[in-house]
Amino acid sequence: MESGDAARLGPGRAARSPPPRLLLLPLLPLLLGRGLRVAASASSGAAAEDSSAMEELATEKEAEESHRQDSVSLLTFILLLTLTILTIWLFKHRRVRFLHETGLAMIYGLIVGVILRYGTPATSGHDKSLSCTQEDRAFSTLLVNVSGKFFEYTLKGEISPGKINSVEQNDMLRKVTFDPEVFFNILLPPIIFHAGYSLKKRHFFRNLGSILAYAFLGTAVSCFIIGNLMYGVVKLMKLVGQLSDKFYYTDCLFFGAIISATDPVTVLAIFNELHADVDLYALLFGESVLNDAVAIVLSSSIVAYQPAGLNTHAFDAAAFFKSVGIFLGIFSGSFTMGAVTGVVTALVTKFTKLHCFPLLETALFFLMSWSTFLLAEACGFTGVVAVLFCGITQAHYTYNNLSVESRSRTKQLFEVLHFLAENFIFSYMGLALFTFQKHVFSPVFIIGAFVAIFLGRAAHIYPLSFFLNLGRRHKIGWNFQHMMMFSGLRGAMAFALAIRDTASYARQMMFTTTLLIVFFTVWVIGGGTTPMLSWLNIRVGVDPDQDPPPNNDSFQVLQGDGPDSARGNRTKQESAWLFRLWYSFDHNYLKPILTHSGPPLTTTLPAWCGLLARCLTSPQVYDNQEPLREEDSDFILTEGDLTLTYGDSTVTANGSSGSHTASTSLEGSRRTKSSSEEVLDRALGIGDQPVSSRGTRLVFPLEDNA
């Protein structure tokens, strides 16, 4: 009844007097919707927090995995070096000379590279490629907005379209591929500094003119010959369809510059072990040291070659001379910076009492030497040149101011760093053959490069030796020339220059070819050094402090009728007026200013500089506590000072001879000496004292004035 009445009343009455529970029915969807939205909001917030927590956890796991892979990659190289050292000991114990330690390191690197390439699975994948068609250049750093979160990406290099699907997906292989700047800023400085710091000055300066000719003129000749020959090879490759991208003439010259950097480390190590002829060792070592510096500056000048106009690779005389100016400016600036750093270190060690704290003294010496490289690079110069001449300056001046402990420590420290860095680089070379992702193997280019470097080396050695022999009294014999031609190995510097820029197709082909050339020269030429020495009849077992006998082509004892004739028949290095002029200036002024040795400045400077002379002269010089320690003191002596004994006869500079003489004497009163020579004699304590002789080696009896 009630329900029927209610129905008849219509909806109006029903709306006016509904039951209380019916009033909640229209609000139920609204309340339920609001509750659902609140619940959904709460659940979405919780999900976002969970997602953020998961992302942080994933990031931490990725960082931990990356750290683990970094440790594994460094451990790999340490184990390689350890295995190399143990094998070197075995080879030395068994007297094996057919393979040098650097070649051994390369072999171990190749083995590890094969294992990493083909024995480890892919551990990561790449996401889809993002197109940035509106940009006309690549960015070194890229910020990507992904759902409101910004991620930073760094540029790894260009990938050719044909290799987009073969990009390395193995994180371990990426980890063992080092940034090229690691080689330049960390590994190269100790190698180059050690070359300058351990330089044997006596034989180096005796052949300085020839070394400079080989290093500067010879490297330039080799660069242009190789560059032009390789340009012909590139034209041939283009003609037969073997060239898939651009390869300019400047690229060929750049390849000629980097591949002209010789590194006969294998040959020099065998020379040192066998005590080969010291003049040949000095020529090869001096050329390789300065040659590296010239090659890197020459390559920088070629890169800086920018002709005016639309064709940036055409010849332009203005751009050419600008590049020559850049070469001279970079080299002279780097040389000055290295020498100045060495002078500053010498002054600091002289006028402070750091020698009382050998640890601090060694640390300062190490930091000042290494900072020279970085300072030169930061100023736009070449760190290789700067650190080389810094090492030479440190050895000539700063070394005299160091305490006995610091001298031993610095020598051993840089020797160990040189050994480890060099073997690390050669191990990495073997590894890079399989782990590097941008190889471009071109048989035509590789064969042409081998022919070009052979012809470039021949055009470098033989013509220059001919012209040098016109002015040398110590002729560079044919056996020396053949050995220098044979010893043109390529090594760490060529590799470091090639790997520094592998962005373009041309640079990638250069890097691959350079790597193969280094392998061949180290294994084949390095292994054939000992047989070549025997075949060319080059003396071994020579005392480095002993001059060659008179019947050797590289040494002569000249006779005359008197002092004037003897003075006119001096050997080339003894009459090197430029060296004697520099030595006199260095002995009288620079050595007293920068070290505790040499004559007091009060006796060499004018009287009006008395105050300055007293301030700069070390008290040790007045007290005569540290006499002159000069390895090159024999350059001041001429034939008039010496009586050389060979076999049963004694030959003097004035032509007199005797039989069965077993002593060598200095006859200081035979001629009038210059002031610097008299000071040197007094500092050495020789005067008219007899000097005992062992064969042809002069042993000066120094007095202990302490």
- For the stretch 418-429, pLDDT in tens is 999 999 999 999
Of 202, 357, 207, give the one whose Cα is nearest residue 698: 202
Of 575, 689, 551, give the one whose Cα is nearest residue 639: 575
pLDDT at 677: 44
- For the stretch 342-370, pLDDT in tens is 999 999 999 998 999 999 999 999 999 99
**Position 31 pLDDT exceeds 90:** no
Task: Tally the residues of the chain.
Answer: 706
- For the chain, give percent helix, strand, coil, nearest 5: 65, 5, 30
Q: Find the helix or strand (DSSP H, E) in which 153 lies.
A: strand 149-154
Q: Please state the rounded mean pLDDT for residues 433-444.
A: 89
- Could you give the CA distance from residue 97 to residue 89 in angstroms, rounded to a whole number? 12
Structure tokens at 612: 């300055």
- Model-level pTM? 0.74
- Could you give the CA distance from residue 621 to residue 617 in angstroms, rounded to a whole number? 7
Q: Find the helix or strand (DSSP H, E) in which 470 lies.
A: helix 443-471
Among the ranges given (30-34, 130-134, 472-476, 622-626), the one the predictor scored with the smallest mean pLDDT: 30-34
pLDDT at 390: 96
pLDDT at 555: 36
DSSP state of 98: S
Q: How far is CA 89 from the centre of its chain?
A: 25
DSSP state of 272: H
Of 302, 265, 296, give the one whose Cα is nearest residue 373: 296
- For the stretch 68-115, pLDDT in tens is 888 888 898 899 999 999 998 998 888 877 777 888 899 999 999 898
Q: What are phi and psi of 486, to 5 degrees?
A: -70, -30
pLDDT at 669: 38
Task: Give CB contacts under 8 A, 24+ apart, made by 532-539.
Answer: 532/483, 532/486, 533/270, 533/274, 533/276, 533/483, 536/479, 536/482, 536/483, 537/479, 538/276, 538/277, 538/280, 538/479, 538/480, 538/483, 539/276, 539/277
Q: How far is CA 517 from the centre of its chain?
A: 18
**Position 617 pLDDT exceeds 70:** yes
Max mean pLDDT range (381-395, 487-501, 602-616, 661-675): 381-395
- For the stretch 215-259, pLDDT in tens is 999 999 999 999 999 999 999 999 998 898 889 999 999 999 999
Q: What is the mean pLDDT of the chain?
A: 76
pLDDT at 598: 79
**Structure-derived torsion over alpha carbons of residues 413, 418, 421, 422, reported in degrees to the nearest 10:** -160
**Structure-derived torsion over alpha carbons of residues 267, 273, 274, 279, reported in degrees to the nearest 10:** 60
**Position 190 pLDDT exceeds 90:** yes
Taking phi over 0 as left and psi of -120 to 50 as alpha, with beta for the rest, 588 belongs to: alpha
Structure tokens at 442: 């071109």
Among the ranges given (162-171, 267-276, 332-341, 553-562), the one the predictor scored with the smallest mean pLDDT: 553-562
Contact 307, 138 (CB under 8 A): no
- Could you give the CA distance from residue 232 to residue 505 in angstroms, rounded to a whole number? 18
The more confident residue out of 64 and 158 is 64
**Structure-derived torsion over alpha carbons of residues 283, 577, 692, 560, reported in degrees to the nearest 10:** 100
- Could you give the CA distance from residue 85 to residue 71 in angstroms, rounded to a whole number? 21
Structure tokens at 211: 């070394």
Structure tokens at 585: 């200036």
Q: What are phi and psi of 316, to 5 degrees?
A: -135, 120
Contact 685, 702 (CB under 8 A): yes
Of 553, 543, 535, 528, give the one whose Cα is nearest residue 270: 528
Hey, which residues does 645 pair with through a beta bridge?
Answer: 650
Please list, residue by residue across 598-636, b when 16 or more beta carbons sit within 10 angstroms of its beta carbon and e when fewer do: bbbbbebbeeeeeeebeebbbeebeeeebbbebebbbbb
pLDDT at 144: 77
- For the stretch 569-594, pLDDT in tens is 443 444 456 677 878 888 888 988 99
- Could you give the CA distance from residue 340 to residue 392 in angstroms, rounded to a whole number? 12
The string of DSSP codes covering 570-591 is --TTTT-HHHHHHHHHIIIIIH
Q: Please state the rounded mean pLDDT for residues 513-524.
A: 92
Contact 329, 323 (CB under 8 A): no
Where are the strands (E) in 609-665, listed by range? 643-646, 649-652, 657-659, 663-665
